[in-house]
């Protein structure tokens, strides 16, 4: 499919792409670069791909470059690889926010390549190259965002790449992507971090009890609140406009619950609690979660 793929940044997502691409034989050659020495050592021990300490060496002659690093590192990465990009190649990424990244790419005046942003809606609460696995993208959506000048041919090529890794593809504008994801992913993360912090910020008296009796709901949130801090700090900054807006709407919804509790308004509380029940069903019908009770946990 490609003569050479280059993966820059090889944590959970990058290493899952590497595993999937090797397994599906998507490219004749794969080069990988990560700025962490520890990650590079892990890669050398566990993969046969070209593990390149030099980022521009990694990029050389690649037909597809996938940046799979924290959003705050994009500018530095792009500046390092800019002059080495092969004419006609595709540049993509796997970041969770798009509008700011698109600005960066445009401002750097990168030419003669096709920039198409990718966002695979896949991941776990674990980070690092040892946490990756080749089936991570299987049956998961991957959202692509491209500017008008990108040709249909290049877009099809990138679609095929993600399809081979198991993804279902959706094309969305940079702006719509950032708005939708602020609701489906960024808000849930802000909320999860806050709730876990609230639960543990109570001094030591009840800490053990809170851990022990977390199965009443809290434990679900601790999974998301265990996500990579650096990655999420970057997402919150890059998509701050949408996130702050939805956080305000969210606070209003929470205030509505508070008022209903204070005024003992049964009707209102029942209305709120009933309105959310059917969403679960729709998500299961859309194949986006397991129908097994309690996520099938034992």
**Binding to its own copies (CB under 8 A): which residues in 219-258?**
219-227, 229-230, 232-233, 236-237, 240, 243-244, 246-247, 249-251, 253-254, 256-258
Which residue, 90 or 260, is less far from its own copies as judged by CB?
A: 260
Which residue, 86 or 177, is less far from its own copies as judged by CB?
A: 177
The stretch among 16-24, 104-112, 151-159, 277-285 that binds its own copies (CB under 8 A) is: 277-285
Positions 71 through 100 that interact with its own copies (CB under 8 A): 96
Taking alpha carbons only, the member of 193, 206, 44 closest to residue 129 is: 44
Question: By CB under 8 A, is residue 286 in contact with its own copies?
Answer: yes
Taking CA atoms, 141 is separated from 27, 152, 288, in Å, by 22, 20, 9
What character string, x for contact with its own copies (CB under 8 A) and - otherwise, covers 174-203? --x--xxx-xxxxxxxxxxxxxxxxxxxx-
Question: By CB under 8 A, is residue 41 in contact with its own copies?
Answer: no
Question: By CB under 8 A, is residue 262 in contact with its own copies?
Answer: yes
Question: By CB under 8 A, is residue 204 in contact with its own copies?
Answer: no
Min dist CB 79 to its own copies, Å, is 20
Convert 60-90 to b/e letters by CB count within 10 Å (16 or more is b): eebbbbbbbbbbeebeebbebbbebbbeebb
Question: By CB under 8 A, is residue 170 in contact with its own copies?
Answer: yes
Q: In terms of DSSP bridges, do strands 141-146 and 64-67 run parallel, antiparallel, or are they unpaired?
A: unpaired
DSSP state letter for 183: I
Q: Cβ atoms within 10 A of the Cβ of 257, count?
A: 13
Kindly list the strands in the beta sheet with 64-67, ordered across the sheet, starting from the edge strand earlier in the chain: 50-51, 27-33, 2-8, 64-67, 90-93, 114-120, 141-146, 168-171
Min dist CB 117 to its own copies, Å, is 15
Question: By CB under 8 A, is residue 171 in contact with its own copies?
Answer: no
Min dist CB 136 to its own copies, Å, is 9
Terminal-residue alpha carbon distance, the chain: 41
Contact 86, 130 (CB under 8 A): no
Question: By CB under 8 A, is residue 163 in contact with its own copies?
Answer: no
Q: Cβ atoms within 10 A of the Cβ of 94, count?
A: 24
Question: By CB under 8 A, is residue 162 in contact with its own copies?
Answer: no
What character string, x for contact with its own copies (CB under 8 A) and - otherwise, covers 44-63? --------------------
Pick the binder of its own copies from 6, 21, 55, 143 (CB under 8 A).
143
Distance between CA 225 and CA 211 in Å, rounded? 14
Min dist CB 248 to its own copies, Å, is 8
Question: By CB under 8 A, is residue 121 in contact with its own copies?
Answer: yes
Taking CA atoms, 231 is separated from 93, 96, 225, 226, in Å, by 14, 9, 12, 12
Pick the binder of its own copies from 41, 54, 131, 162 (CB under 8 A).
131
DSSP state letter for 86: P
Which residue, 50 or 179, is less far from its own copies as judged by CB?
A: 179
């Amino acid at each position: 499919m490609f003569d050479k793929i280059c993966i820059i940044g090889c944590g959970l997502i990058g290493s899952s792409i590497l595993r999937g691409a090797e397994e599906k034989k998507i490219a004749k050659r794969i080069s990988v670069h990560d700025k962490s020495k520890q990650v590079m050592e892990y890669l050398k021990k566990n993969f046969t791909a070209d593990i390149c300490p030099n980022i521009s060496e990694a990029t050389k002659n690649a037909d597809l470059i996938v940046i799979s690093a924290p959003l705050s590192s994009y500018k530095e990465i792009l500046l390092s690889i800019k002059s080495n990009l092969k004419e006609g190649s595709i540049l993509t990424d796997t970041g969770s926010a798009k509008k700011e990244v698109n600005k960066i790419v445009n401002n750097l005046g990168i030419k003669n390549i096709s920039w198409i942003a990718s966002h695979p809606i896949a991941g776990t609460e674990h980070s690092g190259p040892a946490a990756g696995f080749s089936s991570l993208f299987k049956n998961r959506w991957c959202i692509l965002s491209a500017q008008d000048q990108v040709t249909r041919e290049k877009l099809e090529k990138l679609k095929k790449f993600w399809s081979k890794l198991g993804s279902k593809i959706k094309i969305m504008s940079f702006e719509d992507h950032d708005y939708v994801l602020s609701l489906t992913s960024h808000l849930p993360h802000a909320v999860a971090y806050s709730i876990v912090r609230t639960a543990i910020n109570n001094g030591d008296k009840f800490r053990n009890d809170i851990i022990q009796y977390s199965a009443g709901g809290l434990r679900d949130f601790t999974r998301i609140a265990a996500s990579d801090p650096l990655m999420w700090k970057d997402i919150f900054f890059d998509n701050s406009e949408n996130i702050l807006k939805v956080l305000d709407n969210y606070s209003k919804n929470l205030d509505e619950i508070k008022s209903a509790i204070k005024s003992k308004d049964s009707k209102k509380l029942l209305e709120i609690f009933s309105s959310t029940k059917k969403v679960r069903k729709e998500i299961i019908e859309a194949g986006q979660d397991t129908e097994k009770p309690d996520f099938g946990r034992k």
